Structure 1
Amino acid sequence: MSSQALPQVETLPGWKKWIYALGQFGWSLASYAAGNLLVYFYFPPEEAGQAVFPVMIVQGFVLGVLTIIGLIFWFGRVFDAVTDPIIAVLSDRNNAKIGRRRFFLLISSVPFALLSILIFMPPFGTGAGANVWANSLWVFITVVLFYLSMTMYVTPYFAWLSELGHTSDERLGLSTRISVTWALGFMVGSQSVALQGVLEGFGFEAVAAFRGVIILFAVVSLICMLLPVLLIDERRYCNAVPSSQGIWTSLKSVIKIENFLRFTLSDFAYWVALTFINSGMVYFVTVLLELPKEFYSTLILVLFLLSFAFYGPVNLLAKRAGKKNLLIIAFIIFGITYGFAFFLGLWPLPAQVQGFLVVIFASVSIATFGILPNAMVSDMAEAFAIETGEYKAGVFFGFRTFMQKMGQSVAALLLPSLIKIGAPEGSLTGVLGVRLLAVLALVFCLGGMLLLLWYDEKKINAVLAKNQEAPAQAEV
């Protein structure tokens, strides 16, 4: 079945495109600590021979080789991944008057921001007097609820991109904008450890300093997440065509597309590798380079400032060389980055220089993956709508984020166990284990690159080009 023409809608003004992108800044900032510093807070590295934070949850091995925080982080990501396609379908089917995407963004913003704080506030004591099992249960419950609220915001938000952008170039432009604001949110969030150190310098103890930073970021993120809801009228800028299909029917119709499945499997591999560098960087700094924890924030800041320099070239090259080719190159560079990271602390260079070289390499790949995958999923969703008449961008993005978060969950499960390998008695981290993070990430980069070789970009572009060549037919 071919799609019928839909009523013409307005093109989103430039300033509203940035308002839309600010929602990405908000959720990126709100999710940073839970996604990247959960292990750091509950499984802290040592500084001057003492753990940065006191004991709050169970820290020993369970089930032989796993940890409580690793299992919580893993389950939260798995739960998040499973709910992604469900929320996606519900969003596609929604008929709310304010807009099917805006409705979900509205109801999820406040709990999302609030839970980003509560995750780090277990109420059953710290240190020797802590009830570590009760605190562990608190963290488990808040992590699950946090990821549910995050899914309810993020999945419809991404689906909105496909509908606010009416051409491939518009979608690439929106994807570039949200890549910029995601990176800014990530970059601001990455300063949590540095700001914690600043507050400690004013006399705050470590836990209070860290929580103070998280509360500040939650307030800022809530304001930014609400701006698109308040200022973008979905009915003016989007053709809202609610899907009539049920959850499983809708999911199966998308998953059976081999081209899309290849892409999402490759994306899964990338997110495993990225999570290892996002969550593992603080251990590269403190364990391999033996530098203060605050240097981690400096590296992340430099990483994303450098990535901005590549946003323009990536946007231009994607139009000329193709998105697929650029992603393959990005995988290769990311693999080289992890190969270099394996030898951190062993290169005949100052420790700070070694750290900066890692982020210089990584910035190219992060810029590329920050822009292109969302634009590619939008193109695939639009091509599907052209061919079938079914407008199900939510399901496309829902399954893509399902695979993304499954990748993050695998990394989250493995990371705490890996960093304990080779740890001396009385310590939570070992040099060998941290180096193994780099090896495993390199393997996933290789796998992601090989999968992407089978992605057929020409087929998608042909469908989109054919549709744009016949505007008169689309208006009948």
Structure 2
Amino acid sequence: MNFSIKKQETPLFIKLMYALGQMGWSLGAYGVANLLIYFYMPPQTGQEPVFMPYIYQGAVLGVATIIGLLSFSGRIFDAVTDPLVANWSDRAIVRFGRRRFFMAIGFLPFALFSALIFTPVTPGVSWLNVAWLFVCVLLLYFFMTIYVTPYTALISELGHTPNERLTISTFISVTFALGYGLGTQVFFFQHVLQTQYGLSAETAFKTVMSAFAILSALLMALPVIFVNEERYCISKPSYEPPLAAIRSVFGNRNFRYFAISDLMYWLALTFIQMGIAYYVTILLQLEAQYGSLVLMGMLGSSFVFYVPTNILARKWGKKRLMVFAFAAFTVIYLLMFFLGKYPLPPIMQIVTLGVLASIPIAIFSILPNAVVADIIESDAAVSGGHKAAIFFAVRSFMMKMGMSVANLLFPSLLLLGNSVQNPTGVRATAAAASVFCLLGWLLFSRYNEKEVLAAQA
């Protein structure tokens, strides 16, 4: 492959095909990130159970749960494999493209296992279901890493200037939101299949997840087909072994501040994403499908702020906006703690907080990837090596560590109470999310954006 610096400018069509891959993998990852605990440990509303129990749902060792440990193990495995796959991709010299090669291997199995994790092998509570779920979760995360890590590395390689990287980051934030937003509609589609076609809740849910898997595979195939790395990407292979590459990434002070604050953000966000079904059904005593509608409305409202975010980021810098977003989420998540206690109708309470949250959601949807891309180009200018995949992999590692810890802690907090009569655990998850965002706010305040941009000049 030709690694010369001069490359053809990436056309709009190619950027759009690339961005649609993000919609595919965000849809494929939605279930394991947000619905696994809901499926295997559904809310206790006092009515008939939503789904049949397949694994033991009580406490293990007094504080943990089976589903929490499985989710945590999968996320840890996912996080650990990120730097390894990134180093393979950074060091690869493949005519087809060092990023596309791995993406082509990963997209089909990733989509397949996104459906299989909701397909237990035997009815009723059984250790066979635990073993099956454990294997499926690990394989899902492995193939997701094979696809997503090289995919994100293309942000800095397709974008040849800071503004172009910001544009690409905006595109993929839109398509990520579209994939995520479609994922949030699982309860709506489940309700339609139940009421219009007479399917049971569980069969309807599994049917929707299978349809999502097929669509995600089709979307993930698009950048594999259309993105020609030889023609559009500026990159050089890296010859650093994995540990040396990871050490050099963590040696970048500004990246360390960003990565640890990002971990806190994902801890908080994962708590809220997993908690929305509980906030709606337990704290507000509404039907579960209202959670889908609120999430979709929140994401849709965030699009209104995408253009202002781009304009203000170019004018004021990315750091100021992200610091504001951390502060806003700190307050909003604290307000969620009191859901059900405000003198407003239940639907108005969650809608109001959803609208407020749409502003920081827009900022965090666009800017983090652009910040990492800026750090990558700054590091390349100083060191002479282009390690895009390993930087994004370490960012992904920290993100997934946040998700892993959230998957472990969230169901443990629910043991304090996840019923209408005792919602203590549900409220505790919102309070914890607020604390995590406060820590992220303090950490990211130390990021030196001027130093990063000056190194690229």
Bucket of the pairwise TM-score, normalised by the shorter protein: over 0.9
Aligned pair partner of 1:41 in 39, 42, 45: 39
Letter in 2 for 1:139: L
Query: Structure 1 residues 337, 381: CA separation in 2 closer, same or farther (over 3 Å shift)?
Result: same
Residues 414, 425 of structure 2: 8 Å contact kept:
yes
Q: Counterpart of 1:188? A: 182
- Cα distance in 2 between the residues matched to 1:168 and 1:350: 45
Which of 369, 377, 384 is the matching residue for 1:382? 377
Aligned to 2:142: 148
What is the identity, as a one-letter code, of the residue corresponding to 1:104?
F
SS in 1 for 2:439: helix
Kept in 2, the 8 Å contact 1:92–1:100? The answer is yes
Cα shift at 1:140: 1.0
> What letter matches 1:166 in structure 2?
H
Please list the CA deviations of residues 206-265 of structure 1 after superposition, one character each: whole Å capped at 9, or x if unmatched.
Answer: 111001001111111101100011011110001341111111111111111111111100
**SS of residue matched to 2:305:** helix
Q: Give the corresponding residue for 1:453.
A: 445
Give 1:307 deviation, angstroms.
0.8
CA distance in 2, matches of 1:310, 1:168: 20
Given the alignment of the two structures, is residue 293 of structure 1 paired with residue 288 of structure 2, yes or no? yes
| Residues 419, 430 of structure 1: 8 Å contact kept | no
Residues 205-244 of structure 1: pairs in structure 2 closer than 5 A: 205-244=200-239
1:284 aligns with 2:256: no
How far apart, in 2, do the equivalents of 1:339 and 1:94 lie?
A: 46
> Deviation string for 1:357-381 (max 9, x for gaps)?
1211211111111100000000100
Residue in 2 that maps onto 1:472: none
Deviation at 1:7, TM superposition (A): 3.6
One of 8, 11, 16 as aligned partner of 1:10: 8
CA contact (8 A) 1:32 1:189 kept: yes
Alpha-carbon deviation of 1:124? Answer: 1.1
Q: What secondary structure sits across from 1:50 in the alignment?
A: coil
* Aligned residue identity for 2:448: D
1:358-411, CA deviations, whole angstroms, 9 ceiling, x for partnerless residues? Answer: 211211111111100000000100111111110100111000000000001111
Identity of aligned residues (%): 47
Give the alignment partner of residue 75 of structure 1, picking from 73, 76, 79: 73
Q: Cα offset for 1:347?
A: 0.2
State how far apart, in whole Å, the 1-side matches of 2:46 and 2:122 are: 27
What is the alpha-carbon distance in structure 2 between the residues aligned to residue 141 and residue 359 of structure 1?
36
TM-score between the two structures when normalised by the length of structure 1 = 0.94
1:200 to 194, 197, 201: 194
2:418–2:426 contact (8 Å) kept in structure 1: no
Note the 1:32-181 alignment, pairs <5 A: 32-47=30-45, 49-125=47-123, 130-181=124-175
Matched length:
454
CA shift for structure 1 position 423: 4.7
**Residue in structure 2 matched with residue 463 of structure 1 by the alignment:** 455
Q: Is the 8 A contact 2:56 2:125 kept in 1?
A: no
Q: Distance in 2 between matches of 1:7 and 1:240?
A: 7
Partner of 1:474: none
- Determine the structure 1 residue equivalent to 2:404: 409
Q: For 1:333-372, what per-residue CA distance to the aligned partner results, in whole angstroms no more than 9, with x for missing partners?
A: 1111111101100000000000101211211111111100
- Structure 2 unaligned blocks of 5 or more: none
Give the Cα–Cα distance (whole angstroms) in 2 for the partners of residues 137 and 6 of structure 1: 49
Aligned match of 1:324 = 319
SS of match in other structure, 1:339:
helix
Task: Give the Cα separation in 1 of the matches to 2:312 and 2:49.
Answer: 46
What do residues 114-160 of structure 1 show as CA deviations (whole Å, max 9, x unaligned)? 000110001111xxxx2421101111111111011111111111101
Distance 1:250 1:206, change over 3 A: same
After superposing on structure 2, the runs of 4+ consecutive aligned residues of structure 1 that deviate more than 6 Å are none
- 1:355 paired residue number: 350
Structure 1 residue 197, shift from structure 2 partner:
1.2
In 2: Cα distance, 1:114 partner to 1:391 partner? 33
Match for residue 473 of structure 1? none
Give, in whole Å, the separation in 1 of the partners of 2:353 and 2:70.
29
Rounded Cα–Cα distance in structure 2 between residues aligned with 1:282 and 1:296: 6
Q: How many Å separate the matches in 2 of 1:47 and 1:294?
A: 14
Give me the whole-angstrom Cα distance separating, in 2, the residues matched to 1:172 and 1:96.
28
2:331 pairs with 313, 336, 357, which one?
Answer: 336
1:18-57 alpha-carbon deviations (Å, 9 max, x no partner):
1000000000001101110001100011456122101111
Q: Distance in 2 between matches of 1:361 and 1:430?
A: 27
How far has the Cα of 1:198 moved from its partner? 1.1
Aligned equivalents of 2:228, 2:261: Cα separation in 1: 35
For the 8 Å contact 1:81–1:406, the answer to whether it is kept is yes
Residue 275 (structure 1) aligns with: 270
- The answer (yes or no) to whether the contact 1:334–1:361 under 8 Å persists in 2 is no
Give the alignment's Cα RMSD to 1 decimal. Answer: 1.3
Match of 1:469 in 2: none
Whole-Å Cα distance in 2 between the matches of residues 338 and 50 of structure 1? 30
Residues 66-101 of structure 1 deviation map (CA, whole Å, 9 limit, x = unaligned): 000001111111111111111111110011111000
Letter in 2 for 1:437: T
Which residue of structure 2 aligns with residue 471 of structure 1?
A: none
CA contact (8 A) 2:278 2:418 kept: no
CA contact (8 A) 2:10 2:158 kept: yes
